[in-house]
Structure 1
Amino acid sequence: MRLRRAARVILVGAPGVGKGTQSERLLQRFPELQSISTGDLLRHNVKARTPLGIKVEHTMKAGGLVADDLIMRLISNELYKRGWLRRPGDPEVMTLSSTATTTEPHCFGALPLDDWITSAAALNEHTPPVASEDPSASFLLDGFPRTVAQARTCDKIIPINLVISLKTPIDVVIERITSRWVHEPSGRVYNTTFNAPKVAGVDDVTGEPLTQRPDDNVDVYKERFRKFQETSEPLLEHYAKKGVLWEVEGMTSNEITPKLYEEFERRFA
């Protein structure tokens, strides 16, 4: 399915609701759509020893949270490199290989990007960047923003045009995760309700025992869900006010996917 205009999308969903599954399916159905993962960007910049990578390396190794303005610099630099964002007055230039990740930001004009976009405060003094509407500039932004404060910073750089809220009843998700068993060496995942192993508690391929992840229990999940609600409800309200929020509910991923495809095609295809 080909897109007719750029989709700049965020998926929001509680742990276990199937956000990863829906992301993978969207990327497969719409070849022009690509994933921009903040985690991948951080790891790449650290490995490549870029100036931003050097700044965040110590924080990451210490297990701390990377500052929001640094995350936004990573994202904006990546989008500029790909030609998906440009400063007002700069010509629109699409890169030949938009999937390639390089080590240095592509710079336009006299000012380096890091001097032009450094923080939310600096952005207040400049005209917002211009986003490409070319379909090949379509992306799912993964891992950011997670809070209203981050969303407001993101708004100054990236005009998100669709925020998808995935919803599944909490009792269904709890049943799903408490029925989940894994074969740790291979990563194979089973579920006793819809994808049970041939022999209970045993991996189909190796015959080795299956285990449950430490956080696959009711109490741990309820606490994770509570924390998710605390941050996601204000975030969704923020995007609802901007007119870009769309909510979809289903009992399973297979029930949600067709609705998601239909809405995505209606807006962008």
Structure 2
Amino acid sequence: MYSKIFRTVIIGAPGSGKGTISELIVQTFGFLHISSGDILRQNIMNNTDLGKKARQYISSGRLVPDEILNKTMLGRITEVGNKSYILDGFPRNKEQAEVLAGSEHIDAVINLVVAHDVIIDRVKNRWIHPPSGRVYNIGFNDPRVPGKDDETGEPLVQREDDKPEVVKKRLQLYDKIMLPVLEYYKDRGIVTTFRGSRSKEIWPRVELFLREKIHKCP
């Protein structure tokens, strides 16, 4: 949609609406959505070498090592070529951010801030289509047919890790892990924070921000 190449990172706690905002960016601006979670889940489902390695870590509650994730994400970025994209789920620590900076110029970082209690309440209404990673939120981004994916008609499911007690721990871990990443990008003056409780409230501000940034991008 836009001739200029624009590269952005979206940061937000689990349940903050990153997936919904990313999809709206894709629809509105034609960006490619490069999600580490989607890539890993797809490889696990297809039982690839990467999927087998990732499953070993994820099934035991550990993070996939930097070496594997860096190679996976940079490889995907290389594949897309000279196209605008939004990175979701990467980088997740300062070291990954430094590796990314070694090969890519990031134009903007979108930081979504939603109160933890709002997120915990929200995930109870979140349903996903596992093969594609499409996310639906009852009350905002409802599927056209309750319980069914819009594209395939296949059943939607709820993740085990969307239970409130699990979500609370994930949010606490997220804050600890992502603070250095945010500080890294804030030092470079490219972080813009959007606060709100729902994606439909945050999206208009994100859309305006991107339109202004893209037109200013050299």
1:216 Cα deviation (Å)? 3.8
Question: What 5-or-longer segments of structure 1 have no aligned partner?
Answer: 85-136, 197-202, 206-210
1:38 Cα deviation (Å)? 3.3
Is 1:164 the counterpart of 2:158? The answer is no
Amino acid at match of 2:12: G
Change (3 A) 1:28 1:188: closer
1:4 Cα deviation (Å)? 4.7
Residue range with higher mean Cα deviation, 229-238 or 33-42: 33-42
Q: Kindly, what percent of the aligned residue pairs are identical? A: 31
Structure-1 residue corresponding to 2:84: 138
1:215 Cα deviation (Å)? 3.7
**Number of matched pairs:** 198
- The answer (yes or no) to whether the contact 2:127–2:137 under 8 Å persists in 1 is yes
Structure-2 residue corresponding to 1:123: none
Q: Equivalents in 2 of 1:39, 1:12: separation in Å?
A: 13
Is 1:154 the counterpart of 2:100? The answer is yes
Counting only pairs closer than 5 Å after superposition, residues 118-137 of structure 1 correspond to structure 2 as 137=83
Q: Secondary structure at the match of 1:36?
A: strand
Structure-2 residue corresponding to 1:262: 208
User: Could you report, residue by residue, the CA deviation over 1:95-148 in whole angstroms, capped at 9, with x for unpaired residues?
Assistant: xxxxxxxxxxxxxxxxxxxxxxxxxxxxxxxxxxxxxxxxxx200122311111
Match of 1:177 among 123, 129, 143: 123
Q: How does the TM-score come out when normalised to structure 2? A: 0.73
Change (3 A) 1:247 1:77: same
Structure-1 residue corresponding to 2:192: 246
Question: What 5-or-longer segments of structure 2 have no aligned partner?
Answer: 149-156
Q: Equivalents in 1 of 2:159, 2:45: separation in Å?
A: 30
- The answer (yes or no) to whether the contact 1:4–1:268 under 8 Å persists in 2 is no
Amino acid at match of 1:152: E
Q: Equivalents in 2 of 1:48, 1:217: separation in Å?
A: 26
Structure-2 residue corresponding to 1:21: 20
Change (3 A) 1:62 1:204: closer
Q: Equivalents in 2 of 1:44, 1:218: separation in Å?
A: 26
